A and B are shown apart, each in its own frame.
Chain A
Amino acid sequence: MMAKCLDHLRSKDGRWNASLALLTAGMVALLLTILLFLMSEAWPFLISADTGHGGNRLFTNLLQNPGWYPLEGRFGLAPMILASLAVMLGAILIALPLGLINGIYLEFYASAAFARGFRLLLNLLAGIPSVVFGLWGLTRLVPWITQWQPPGASLLAAILVLSLMILPTIALTSASALASVPRELHTGAIALGLRRTSQIIHIMLPAARSGIVAGTILAAARALGETMAVLMVAGNVVQIPATLFEPVRVLTANMALEMAYAVGEHRASLFASGLLLTLVVWGLSWMAYRLGRHQRKFARHD
C-alpha cells in the first residue's frame, strides 16, 4: 500500500496531483481560518448578556432596536440588516430586467460585430473598481437627487449606483445562460413556426431560467457585500427608512466606517455583523451553485 503510494508520487502526474491537492487544502484551511477568526472576534458580543433585561444581547438588540450608539452601549443592528436587504433587492429589481433585456438583445438580435463590441463594453463595466462608481455617485448622482429631494444621499442613490454595478454581471450571465440552451430547442421552436418573440419568451427564457437566476444570485451577493460605493452615497444614518429618499446605513458600510476606531464590545459587534454578512453571502453563493448545476444537467440531458 505504502509502496504503491510512493510509486504514484514518483510519477509526474502523481506529483502534479499531490501538489494541487496540497495547494487546495491550504486554501480551504485559509478560508476556515478566516471564518474561525470572525467567530472568535465576534464571540464576546454574541454571548454577552444584556445587563438590564437578562437574556442574549444580540437578540434583545435585534428585537427592541435601541438605536446604534456603540459608545453609549446601544447596539441596534436591525436597521442596518434591513437596509442591506433593501439596497440589494432594489438593485436587483432595477438591474434584472435591464440586464435580461441586454442579454436577449446580445443573443438574438445584435449583429455579430455589435455583439462583440457590446460584450467588451460590459466586461469593462464589470471590471470598474467600486470606488469609481462611488465617486461618480457622490459628485454627480447625489447632487442631482439633492436638487429634487434633499439630502440626496439616500437609499435611492445607493440602489441606483449598485444596480449600475451589477447590471453587466446580470447581462453577461444571462446571455451565456441563453447561449447554453441546446440548439435543438431553438431550431424546434423555429420549425414550429413560432414568432421570434414567442421563441424567446416561451422556449428560450424558461430553458435558461436556472442559469439566469444563478447569475442574479451572484449579483445579489456582490450587491450585499459592496462597501465603498454604498458608503459614499447612502448617507449612512442608522435608521429604518420610510421613503426612498432617506439615508440608510448598510452593514458593510458600518464596518468600514467604525472598525478603525472600535474597541472592546463595539469591535466585537462589528465582527458579529461581518460574520452574519459572510454567512448570508455564502448561502447565496451556494444557492447559485445549486441552480447552476441544475442548468448544466438540463443542458446535457438533450
Chain B
Amino acid sequence: MFQRLTGLLLAVALCLSAYGVQAADNRLILTGSSTVAPLVLEMAKRYEQQHPQVRIDVQTGGSTRGVNDTRTGLAHIGMASRNLKPTETGLRVHTIAIDGVGIIVHRSNPISSLSNTQIIDIYTGKIRNWKDVGGRDLSITVVNKAEGHSTLELFLNYFALKNSQVRPSIIIGDNEQGIKTVAGNPGAIGYVSIGAAEFSQARGVTIKRLPLEGVAASVAEVQAHRFPLARPLNLLTGKSPSPLARRFIAFAQSEAVADLIADQFFVVPR
C-alpha cells in the first residue's frame, strides 16, 4: 500500500517537472473569428487527445482580433473568416475550410434563378410576390437567420445589407431548422450552408438550391473557389511559426479532420 502511494507520488512529481520544462512548447493560444472557433475547438480536442501533453486554448473575439493578436504575438495562431486586407501584412495564411452559403427555395417553385438585385429586393420587402420575379402568384416568405450567426453576416456582407433593412417573415437558428422551414412552405426563400442543403436534398427533402451569378450552389463549385457567396476560414501565423503551431496547422489541413469540417457543414478546400 505504502509502496504504491510512493510510486504514485513519484509519477505525479515526474509529470509536473516534465510539464514545467516543456510548458513553453506545449501551450498553443488561438484567438479570432467566432465562425472559425467552433471548428478549431473540435480540431484542438482531437489534437489534445492524440498529444496528451499539449494544451490548446481557443478564444473568440472576431477576425480582426485574430489578425492583431497574431501580429503582436499575443496569440500563436489567429483565426479569420475572411481574406487579409492589403494593410494586414507580415502574416502567413493557412486555409483550413471554406464556408459557402446557398439560396434555397421550395422544390415546387418554378423559379430557376434570381439576380442579386432581385434577391436584395425580396429580402428588403420591395418584392413580396413570386409573380413579380416571373413565378407563380404566391406571396414570398422571407426566411432570415438570427442575429450573430456567421451565415447571416456573410449573407449581409455579400449583398451589402444591414440586418435592420431586412424584412423577414421567419427567423431561424440553425441550418436544419432553415431547411425544414423552407421544405414546408412553397413560397419560402432562405439561405443555408451549402453542405447542409446538398446533404438534405440528397435525402429527398423538398428544397432546391438556386445558382448565384450563374454559378451552381454546390460543394464542388465552392471547393473550386468559383461560388461567389463563400469565404475562406483561415488560420494565421507570423512568418516563422513555432514548431507546435506548425504541427497543429498541418493537422488542421490533413485528412484526419475532414469529418469535423463536414460535421459543421463547411467545405474541405482542395
Contact = CB atoms under 8 A, between A and B. Distances in A.
Categorize the interface residue count of chain B.
Answer: 20 to 34
B71 to A, nearest CB: 22
A257 B170 contact: no
Interface string A267-291: 0000000000000000000000000
Contact of A153 (B139, B146, B162, B170): B170
Interface stretch (B76-84, B179-187, B209-217, B236-244): B179-187
B170 A237 contact: yes
Contact of B148 (A74, A238, A247, A266): A266
A291 B180 CA distance: 43
Interface residues of A, number: 32
B63 interface: no
B171 A256 contact: no
Contact of A261 (B61, B138, B148, B181): B148
A67 B164 contact: yes
Contacts of A90: none
A78 B168 CA distance: 19
Interface in B202-228: none
A71 B170 CA distance: 19
A279 B138 CA distance: 44
A151 B150 CA distance: 25
B185 A72 contact: no
Interface string B110-151: 000000000000000000000000000011010000111110
Contact of A231 (B60, B139, B162, B173): B173
21 contacts: A71-B163, A138-B177, A139-B180, A146-B186, A146-B187, A150-B138, A150-B141, A150-B187, A151-B141, A151-B187, A152-B184, A153-B181, A231-B177, A235-B170, A236-B171, A237-B171, A247-B170, A256-B173, A257-B171, A258-B146, A260-B148
Interface of A: 67-72, 74, 138-139, 142-143, 146, 150-153, 231-232, 235-238, 247, 249, 256-258, 260-263, 266
Closest 9 CB pairs of A and B: A261-B148, A236-B171, A257-B146, A143-B184, A151-B141, A151-B169, A235-B170, A257-B173, A153-B170
